[in-house]
Amino acid sequence: MIKNPRQRRALELIQKNAVSRSVLDERVGCANGPALVAELRKKGLDIPCKMFPVTDRDGKKTKVGIYWASESDKLKIAELLNGEA
């Protein structure tokens, strides 16, 4: 069971959509999405992340990470959110 409200919001979000780190931070209410994802991975979730090249508003090339729930994660997340794990 997930009692931490941030972790719960993150799981509910990732279960439904692939999200960027910035969207994760904004919707979950955290300042360090990668640390939050690391905590969730310690609970046995994969939560893959793929880095995509982008150009920021200043024309600098950088990368943005997109997180999503793997197929096995979706089952585990449902169990965690329903208190079965």
Sheet containing 49-55: give its strands across.
19-20, 61-67, 49-55
Contact (Cβ atoms closer than 8 angstroms) between residue 47 and residue 37: yes
The CA–CA distances, whole Å, from 31 to 14, 27, 56 equal 17, 11, 19
**pTM score:** 0.89
pLDDT category of residue 83 using cuts at 50, 70 and 90: confident
Q: Is residue 85 predicted with pLDDT exceeding 70?
A: no
Residues in the chain: 85
Q: What's the half-sphere exposure (Cβ side, CA atoms, 13 Å) at 37?
A: 23
User: Which tokens sit at 53?
Assistant: 């090249």
> pLDDT at position 5, please?
96
